Amino acid sequence: MGYVKTALLMAAMTALFMGLGALLGGSTGAMIALAVAAAMNLFAWWSSDKMVLRMHNAHAVSAQSHPDLVGMVADLARRADLPMPAVYVIDEAQPNAFATGRNPDNAAVAVTTGLMRILSREEIAGVIAHELAHIRNRDTLIMTVTATLAGAISMLANFALFFRGGDNRMGLLGTLAMMILAPMAASVVQMAISRSREYEADRVGAEICGNPVWLASALERLQQGASRIDNMRAENNPASAHMFIVNPLHARKVDNLFSTHPATENRVAALYRMAGQSPRGAGPDGPWQASRPAPAPRQSGPWG
């Protein structure tokens, strides 16, 4: 099903490309846009994961440099019946995480240093399990392809003022309209894919880690941290925002115009219902036998 959704996504993005190309340069512009879209689709299929990791300056870590983190990912991957993904760390104060890769055999999980500082071990397990759920559900291919193509559409729309072809009769106002509407259309595609996907990854992730409350607590603290701390790489590359576990964007007023994430409080409430608890309740211990009934907030995580 993941590959069908990806094919539909690529078709939708290609149509947007061709439509914008036709408006800018008539039939010639449409054909050029089709060629560019075909090349980008091929590139996105094979290389979008590496591109997104570079975009956010993620660096690979090993069991030697980050034994606790890598060991936790390996343990949870076994519980999820998945191959061991590559593990990346992003030097970013905002607490957040994402997964990427075209399939489970070529997947990666990336977490920020901010996340490792503020979450407990149990909460980090919940976050990693959520990202592994995306990998198991094969969401990561859709997420990374969307990030690459939506960013390209936005860039093409921004070039519209400078590259208006001879067959283009839109005029200045029409070109300005396309500069606004094309990125909006890409955002609508992202939203349609992202919201239901997050709820499902929360549910599967809670099953993988063994305690829905761990993920619920993590989401609350991640949302608080993300709302206070700017992530300028994400702000400068908003097309990748839907990949993160919580929305990394807030510094610019337009960031919330089209939110790619469901409301965090709704996700948290769903997880507590899954655990059979009220938001203030305590759940059963998971695979690591937490030292407290539920992952209450604490100031530093297991990596300092």
User: How, if at all, do strands 86-90 and 107-112 pair?
Assistant: parallel
For 193-246, give the DSSP string.
Answer: HHHHHHHHHHHHHHHHHS-HHHHHHHHHHHHHHHHHS--HHHHH-GGGGGGBSS
65 located within any domain: yes
295 located within any domain: no
282 located within any domain: no
208 located within any domain: yes
CA distance 171 to 61: 51
289 located within any domain: no
CA distance 145 to 12: 12
Taking only the tens place, the pLDDT of each residue in 140-182 is 777 666 666 666 666 666 665 555 544 444 555 555 555 565 5
Is the whole-model pTM more than 0.85? Answer: no
For 140-153, give the DSSP string.
Answer: HHHHHHHHHHHHHH
Token readout for 124 is 């980090």
Considering the candidates 92, 122, 123, 131, report the single residue annotated as catalytic.
131
The question of whether 198 is a catalytic residue gets the answer no
288 located within any domain: no
Which one, of 274, 302, 303, lies nearest residue 205 by Cα?
A: 274
294 located within any domain: no
Provide the number of structural domains found in the chain.
1
Q: Range of 252's domain? A: 2-275
291 located within any domain: no
The H-or-E segment that residue 128 falls in is helix 121-136
pLDDT tens-place values along the chain, 304 residues long: 455 665 666 677 677 767 766 766 677 777 877 777 777 667 766 776 788 899 899 999 999 999 999 999 999 999 999 999 999 999 999 999 999 988 899 999 999 999 999 999 999 999 999 999 999 998 877 766 666 666 666 666 666 555 554 444 455 555 555 556 555 655 655 555 566 789 999 999 999 999 999 999 999 999 999 999 999 998 887 777 888 999 998 755 444 544 668 889 999 999 999 999 876 544 444 444 333 334 444 433 443 3
